[in-house]
Structure 1
Amino acid sequence: MRLKKSKGIVLSYIKYSETSIIVRIFTREFGLKSYIINGARSKTAKSKMAFYQPLTLLDLVIYDKEGTSLNRISEAKLAMPFQLIPFDFLRSGIAMFMAEVMGKSVFEGFQNEEFFDFLESTIRLLDEKDTALVHFPLVFLWESSRFLGFAPQDSESFFTELKQYPQGPDVMEEEKEYLDVIIADSFHCDYKFPSKIRRNMLDHFLLFYGNHLDLTYDWKSVKVLRQMMS
């Protein structure tokens, strides 16, 4: 067993025994791994629970042992203390959504350094005060689909693949225009689209992800996110 360093992004955690947790962390070097943190919930814990909230960026020293499904962390440090995300309702809601998307899209052992770098820069962008948030979740879904391997070339191919026109293909022109703007402008998108179109596009993207990832359960964070998009 050897000690190795890696950056990591926390996706989620569950309680384990009386004072411990099992945390899922997407690491840059080793992909998605599960780690047990003994005593994390005890009053005298050395590892603060704040370190293991969704989307926290960590610098890690981990025990690397092949063939182990549950690993251990030797040392964890905050790579970036958040300034806005935990204290801003909209940003924290987007962060919850991003963590859920990643948790459903990335499987155990999945490793992609370029995807990690994109996620890290996106999380840092979310924590900046001048970042426009109105299109942020949808841009995140589009950009992530590129790294996950199922991004559409354009809006026409997106809706053709989706094979679902809830209001008929002729009524989808605004959604198509919106998606083309997102594809072209990414996080720099500042075009104003009606909230109804943005909510519709969110529903289309979630169906698109569900089809590609074979998801059969609901998105927990979407209800809050949809309210934010009103």
Structure 2
Amino acid sequence: MLVTTKAIVISALKYGEADLIVKLFTESSGLKSYLLRGILKSKRGKFRASQFQPLTLLEVVAKHKDKGTLETLRDAKILATYQTLHTDLLKSTVIMFLAELLRNAIQEEEKNPELFGFLETAFLWFDKYNSSNFHLLFLVKLSLFLGFYPEGTNKNASFFNLLDGTFQEVSTNSYCISGIHKDTLELLLGINFDGLEELKLNQTNRSGMLSMLLLYYELHLQGFRKPKSLTVLKEIYS
């Protein structure tokens, strides 16, 4: 089946001497992988490796067999040329981290237009604005589309139970957190990206909050692994 769809680059892996296997999250068909032959050596080919930088927003024409194998990409063009995401050191580090996280977190090959719309909106916002806490709100909001968004009806309670995803008055297991991280999560649940200026965190609290959110993902996503680029992200923020 030939489809034309928006797509977001999740990863591009070198295969052999000159090929790339690119994984795209498409608006029409969910997660798809494509083999691009000769792209790393050919100067006259239809595609350029620069089109497949992490989280680039594309419009693609693809032939999908939908058999769980590598699909065929017929055409691709960049829909939005990012002005800062791949050139600003801090933002490019965050983008590398989030791309790796999405590769671990998006596990089903089914279309999810709501998730696609969120990702597109989030990355276009981050390209335009600066925030040292973007990745924290991104992780909280992403959990909604992955099925384990924190239940917030009792946000003023003393603890947040990472295992159950609920706020509660007493600690019932070793995964109940309180203090600054619970308060920060409470704030994140009540804002959108434009409200990030309300969130004031120092480096220690930002790093601790990120570790807490990654643990939350590990508890709720089977097989989820912390991104290897986490170390680089922490270094760039230190």
Match among 212, 223, 227 for residue 204 of structure 1: 212
Measured in 2, the distance between the counterparts of 1:225 and 1:70 equals: 31
Residue 36 (structure 2) aligns with: 37
String of CA shifts for 1:31-74, please: whole Å, max 9, x gaps: 00110111111132331001111101100011122325110111
Residue 185 (structure 1) aligns with: 191
How far off its partner does 1:158 sit?
4.2
Residue 226 (structure 1) aligns with: 234
Q: Summarize the alignment of residues 1-230 of structure 1 with structure 2, pairs less than 5 Å apart.
A: 2-44=1-43, 45-128=45-128, 131-154=129-152, 156-159=159-162, 161=164, 163-164=173-174, 172-187=178-193, 188-190=195-197, 191-215=199-223, 217-230=225-238
Structure 2 stretches of 5 or more lacking a match? 166-172
Per the alignment, do residues 87 and 71 of structure 1 end up closer, same or farther by CA in structure 2, a change over 3 Å counting?
A: same
Per the alignment, do residues 106 and 17 of structure 1 end up closer, same or farther by CA in structure 2, a change over 3 Å counting?
A: same
Residue 169 (structure 2) aligns with: none
Per the alignment, do residues 161 and 194 of structure 1 end up closer, same or farther by CA in structure 2, a change over 3 Å counting?
A: farther
Give the alignment's TM-score, normalised by structure 1.
0.89
Contact kept, 8 Å, 2:10 with 2:102, in 1: the verdict is: yes
Per the alignment, do residues 148 and 218 of structure 1 end up closer, same or farther by CA in structure 2, a change over 3 Å counting?
A: closer
Structure 1 stretches of 5 or more lacking a match? none
Q: Which amino acid in 1 is paired with 2:135?
A: P
Measured in 2, the distance between the counterparts of 1:65 and 1:214 equals: 27
SS of residue matched to 1:14: strand
Judging by fraction of residues, say which structure has more helix: 1
String of CA shifts for 1:112-153, please: whole Å, max 9, x gaps: 10000000111111111xx23111010000000011000112
Per the alignment, do residues 6 and 216 of structure 1 end up closer, same or farther by CA in structure 2, a change over 3 Å counting?
A: closer
Per the alignment, do residues 186 and 228 of structure 1 end up closer, same or farther by CA in structure 2, a change over 3 Å counting?
A: farther
Between the aligned residues of both structures, percent identity stands at 33
Counting matched residue pairs gives 223
Contact kept, 8 Å, 1:20 with 1:38, in 2: the verdict is: yes
Give the alignment's TM-score, normalised by structure 2.
0.87
How far off its partner does 1:216 sit?
6.2
Contact kept, 8 Å, 2:18 with 2:37, in 1: the verdict is: yes
Measured in 2, the distance between the counterparts of 1:201 and 1:68 equals: 36
Range that drifts further, 9-18 or 25-34: 9-18
